[in-house]
Structure 1
Amino acid sequence: MRFVIDGDGSPVKNEVIKLAEIFNLPVLIVTSVDHFTNKEYPAFVSFIYVDKGADGADYRIVKEIQEDDVVITQDYGLASLLLGKKVRVFHHSGKEYLPETIDTLLTQRYIGGQMRKAGKRTKGPKAFTQEDRNKFVEVMKEVIAKKTKTD
């Protein structure tokens, strides 16, 4: 098992890294060069930087993904591409993307985009709280515990 993070704008990178350290798991963060960092990370954390532009990180994640990876992304489109690849995909809220719900999420995203294009205002995401972080960590602990129990 490995954590793969869609790194552009992920608010839970640090939480994933802490969990990975506790459970001795590797972490791959894929992000655009716009988010390049010189920050020191533990050896179990690796980065792949991609060129700027829409969907560059997403396509690289699809290319790099391995069976049994756990992917963290807020991108419904990327989640839909990954669901058929025997990986589990989670939003940073802790909600798991599932084949039976992804079409609804994609439809909602499309309708919101059309409304914004027509000049209408839509709600943005609510602020990410410490409670949201804590919930995410608890969900990931459950995922890891189930995975280590089955191996």
Structure 2
Amino acid sequence: MKILVDADGCPVVDIAIKTAKSCDLEILVVKNFSHYLADDYATIVTVDQSADSADYYIVNHAAKGDIVITQDYGLAAMALAKEAFCINQNGLIISSENIQQLLTRRHINQEIRRKHHKYTKFKKREPEQDAKFERNLRYLIEKLLAE
């Protein structure tokens, strides 16, 4: 089992690396050229800036039983098809039971934004979100290690 992180715009990269290290798991952090990341433990993979380069790299390197950390539901759907497990930056475990609803909601929200030219600002990240992410990531790891 390994952890793959879609690192472009991901606020929990450090938590994911810390957690992987504490569990002695391999972690690949995939980013494009416009982001700088360095870590002594994680494998940092840099891809080009074209649309979805990081997503395609991750899905091509994900395997059954891996954990993919992403806020991109399209990538999550592809990873689930490879029997990987997915979690977003807020600790939501994405599964075959909820992916269709998440994709539908994403589509509807995109249509509303396009139609009304209305774009919301992202709220400041709260410490509770980081705690929930770490708790659920550890839950997934423990569940997979127990199998």
For residues 137 and 98 of structure 2, what CA distance do their matches in structure 1 show? 20
Whether 2:91 is the aligned partner of 1:94: answer yes
- Number of the residue aligned with 2:17: 17
Mapped contact 1:7–1:29 kept (Cα < 8 A): yes
Residue correspondence of structure 1 range 26-41 to structure 2 within 5 A: 26-37=26-37, 39=38, 41=39
- Number of the residue aligned with 1:119: 116
* Aligned-residue CA RMSD (Å): 1.6
Mapped contact 1:36–1:49 kept (Cα < 8 A): no
Instruction: Give the gaps of 5 or more residues in structure 1.
Output: none
Q: After superposition, what is the alpha-carbon deviation per residue over 1:16-50, rounded to whole angstroms, capped at 9, x for unaligned?
A: 1111111111110111111134x3x12x4112211
For residues 15 and 26 of structure 1, what CA distance do their matches in structure 2 show? 14
Q: After superposition, what is the alpha-carbon deviation per residue over 1:28-78, rounded to whole angstroms, capped at 9, x for unaligned?
A: 0111111134x3x12x41122111122111111111112211010000111
Aligned residue type for 1:29: V
Give the deviation of 1:9 after TM superposition. Answer: 0.8
The DSSP-based 3-state class of the residue aligned with 2:112 is helix
- Number of the residue aligned with 2:67: 70
Give the deviation of 1:125 after TM superposition. Answer: 4.6
For residues 145 and 60 of structure 1, what CA distance do their matches in structure 2 show? 26
Relative to structure 1, the CA distance from residue 122 to residue 34 in structure 2 (aligned partners, 3 Å threshold; closer, same or farther) is closer
Following superposition, which runs of at least 4 residues in structure 1 exceed 6 angstroms of deviation?
Answer: none
Aligned residue type for 2:10: S
Aligned residue type for 1:78: L
Aligned residue type for 1:68: G
- Using the size of structure 1 for normalisation, the TM-score is 0.89
The DSSP-based 3-state class of the residue aligned with 1:35 is coil
> How many residues are paired up?
147
Residue correspondence of structure 1 range 28-67 to structure 2 within 5 A: 28-37=28-37, 39=38, 41-42=39-40, 44-67=41-64
**Aligned-pair identity (%):** 33
Aligned residue type for 1:21: K
For residues 13 and 6 of structure 2, what CA distance do their matches in structure 1 show? 9
Q: Which moved more, 1:103-112 or 1:121-130?
A: 121-130
Relative to structure 1, the CA distance from residue 105 to residue 123 in structure 2 (aligned partners, 3 Å threshold; closer, same or farther) is farther
